[in-house]
Structure formats: structure tokens, C-alpha cells
Amino acid sequence: MSAITRDEVAHLARLSRLALADDELDHFAAQLDQIVGAVARVSEVAADDIPPSSHALPLTNVFRPDELRPSLTPQEALSGAPAVEEDRFRVPRILGEEA
């Protein structure tokens, strides 16, 4: 006998605003019972001596460290810009500003 009853599935369907046929109620009751059983088995396996984790493997940083290297000066970077204002690229306004 299923631990999830047909009436409980019908109640969930009403809460979810789903229209289910009678055969669907029986079908989903069996499926939900299997899901609840699987979750219960996972709960049984979890032990107090196993720390909770978000990943199966430890995470490591794959980025290289930041290193200072020579680059363009602001004047060199802006030299090809069509318009410059206060050492920045000047672009057309696309959003109205309220001041």
C-alpha cells in the first residue's frame, strides 16, 4: 500500500492548480511514494561523522595570480577613440539622467 494516498495527490494537484484524471492520481501517488522513499533512504545514509559539503570533490582556484605587467598608458589607450572626455571614452547618452 502506498504511503502517499490518492487524496493527498488530489490535494496537491488542487494546490498546484493542476487538473488530473483519476488514473493520473493513482500513477502520481505511486511515483511520489517512490520519491519519498528515496529521500528517506538518503537520510538514513547520512551520518553524523560525515561533514556536510556542497561538492563531491574539493574546490581549487584555477586562476593565475595577478601580476603587474607593462600595459598601455591612458593616453595610448584613448588615442584611437573618436571622442574623449576627462581621460575616458566619450559615448553617446543612451539613458536619460535625472539631475
pLDDT exceeds cutoff 70 at 99: no
Domains of the chain listed by start with CATH number: 6-45 (1.10.20)
Cα(38)–Cα(11) distance, integer angstroms? 22
Q: What is the pLDDT of residue 1?
A: 44
pLDDT exceeds cutoff 90 at 16: yes
Beta bridge partners of 84: 89
Mean pLDDT of the chain: 86
In the DSSP assignment, the letter for residue 60 is -
Render pLDDT for 56-81 as a digit per residue (tens, 0 to 9).
788 888 888 889 999 999 999 999 99
**Arithmetic mean of pLDDT, 70-96:** 91
Cα(9)–Cα(32) distance, integer angstroms? 8
* b/e burial code for range 9-45 (CB count within 10 A of at least 16 → b): bbebeeeeeeebeeeebeebbeebbeeeeeeeeeeee
Beta bridge partners of 89: 84
pTM of the model: 0.43
